Chain A
């Protein structure tokens, strides 16, 4: 008997009314997050990853947004929940950290004060000094040296990596069960990236903190993820365990992503491999499968209907959206001896 997933997202759809017309940012996304699991959401800019994540916490609600589907945390529906319910949930059960720690902190308040604010917003009975002590302990636990002194510093007095650690500390202040990290390392130096990822990894292991890690970098995924969700143009085009995605990828887009990774253990390719073309504008999606224009394996079925979700017989949690059969996929994904994607023929 499988345990009830911590977070269950079913057929999530988020659309916006814009000056250029209606736009579907998230188009039927479904996935589960188990307790203590690290789920990586991968995709290029505009794939809908951030919007989907923010919708979980209700942060994408606005007058020109249309949100449908189901998001259940511990079985409680969040999509149509009251603002008051969501407010309590944010920080206490689900926390989020963002890409740029410099702009994510308010520059005119001290870092410690901002952490204290987060604590007292949920626990009004905690005194200021208690909250402050907790803030110091939090900063210390994420590896910030001299936490007792630095708690009174302003955000711009921290270095990039330290700021991101402070953000993580603030996110953990109320001991949430789920941490959503939206491109937490993208704005940081490569060496600092590794540190932050290690921190996230250890938090996951030591506290059983379920994590949704959003990134466009598969290298980051390989470091920490248990399961992977690949998104393209608002849809989930493939999802599975880390091994399944890296060793048995089913979707051409995934092949392209994997093929464009530069690998130290392989000979250097003659040309830097990449997926040709660019992601489509969400205002003007191709008919049928959205990935069509960039896919060399397109055939007659592709333009007619958007692919339905298929699952592998022996791995029911490994799903993808592509009309090719598993045998065709296994054959076509081999390019020059490894997994990759060629350019489509003109």
Chain B
């Protein structure tokens, strides 16, 4: 832990991530007090007063206004988003909430399922492991993105009904569940591997000899040892999920209207790339920053929690103080 805190680069990016989270959390504040508009409100026919001049929010050719910055008191800070004349900055903040929400909740689902499956497969071995591994293999075989697309599209049209669980097609739960489930093999395999190797260790035998039941062994003995792996993967998973969601939404198989996310914003922004590049680049850059921050933080955590990595780097470089993002 101490080592992680001393990793200046990782801490810097953790700070950046926190800033971004605060940024999107501040969406209602900005919307109500600065921009005076909501993310879905259209202003196609309106005019804006800038420095005494009056300008169309959307001109006659359907071209939205570019970044106004602070010239109009914060309204249309980044300009308007399309022919619909919505405030890009407000949309950026609200869209971020969706993206982050999906990323984090999906990661929670993935972690939960991956840990359960990994523990079961690694602990019981035998046919349980065979079954779980085969299932993961099959899931793994379909390129993740295609699978996400397939599920996303199918479910978007009609929604989901699995026993008591019923979700409508337009709900945010669809992309969350799709991404959460599809990412499971990515995390379950390493966990299973670690459980397998931990199982060889004496403390498991000792616990069993003391009469501990399987459940106890799994949760009280094995799980704590998986802690660092889980944390690192969880962090990296959020980044992957956000990239995944953006990709799905970009193509139309993720977040459905009226909801919007950074991915959907890029989709509309790309159409106006040559005239208003900021519309596609702003949300893209946000995703980049979040993914970058989480990746660096995840790496930093991995370095801090893996004693071998540090020692090895030292012996080679002769540095004694904790440093950089290494592996």
Q: Which residues of A are in contact with B by a Cβ distance under 8 Å?
A: 17-19, 62-64
State which of B31-39, B84-92, B308-316 sits at the interface with chain A: B308-316
**Which 7 interchain pairs have the tightest Cβ spacing?**
A64-B318, A63-B318, A17-B320, A19-B320, A63-B317, A17-B318, A19-B314
Q: Can you pick out 14 interface pairs between chain A and chain B where the beta carbons lie within 8 Å of each other? A: A17-B318, A17-B320, A19-B310, A19-B311, A62-B315, A62-B316, A63-B316, A63-B317, A63-B318, A64-B315, A64-B317, A64-B318, A64-B319, A64-B320
Enumerate chain B residues within 8 angstroms of A64, measured Cβ to Cβ: 314-315, 317-320
When distances are taken between beta carbons in the complex, the residues of chain B under 8 Å from A17 are: 318, 320
Q: How far is the CA of A62 from the CA of B320 in the complex (A)?
A: 14
For the complex, what is the distance from the CA of A62 to the CA of B318, rounded to whole Å? 8
Across the two chains, which residue of chain B brings its CB closest to A22? B320
A18 pairs with B314, CB closer than 8 A? yes
- B residues near A, CB below 8 A? 310-311, 314-320
Q: How far is the CA of A196 from the CA of B87 in the complex (A)?
A: 82
Question: Measured between C-beta atoms, what is the minimum distance from B55 to chain A in Å?
Answer: 62
Report how far A18 CA is from B314 CA in the complex, Å: 7
Considering only CB atoms, which chain A residue lies closest to B310 in the complex? A19
B318 contacts across to A, CB distance below 8 A: 17, 62-64
**Which residues on the B side are within 8 Å of A63 (C-beta)?**
316-318
Residues on the A chain within 8 Å of B317, using CB: 63-64
Please measure, in the bound complex, the distance between the C-alpha atom of A18 and the C-alpha atom of B318, giving whole angstroms: 8
| Complex contacts, B316 vs chain A, CB 8 Å | 62-63
Cα(A63)–Cα(B318), bound, Å: 5
Min CB distance, A250 to chain B, in Å? Answer: 37
Inter-chain CA distance A311–B182, complex, in Å, is 75
Closest to A63 in B: B318
Q: Find chain B residues with CB under 8 A from A19 CB.
A: 310-311, 314, 320
Residues on A with beta carbons closer than 8 Å to the beta carbon of B311: 19
What's the minimum C-beta distance from B290 to chain A, rounded to whole angstroms? Answer: 33
Give Cα A43–Cα B318 distance, bound, in whole angstroms: 27
Q: Distance (Å) between the CB of B16 and the closest chain A CB?
A: 29
Task: Name B322's closest neighbour in chain A (CB-CB).
Answer: A19
Chain B nearest CB from A18 CB (Å) reads 7
Provide the residues of chain B in CB contact with A18, threshold 8 Å.
314, 320
Complex: A18 Cα to B316 Cα, angstroms: 11
Chain A residue nearest to B317 (CB atoms) is A63
Known pairs A64-B318, A64-B320. 9 more at Cβ < 8 A?
A: A17-B320, A18-B314, A19-B310, A19-B311, A62-B315, A63-B317, A63-B318, A64-B315, A64-B317
Q: Kindly name the residue among B310, B316, B318, B319 whose own CB sees the greatest number of chain A CB atoms within 10 A.
A: B318
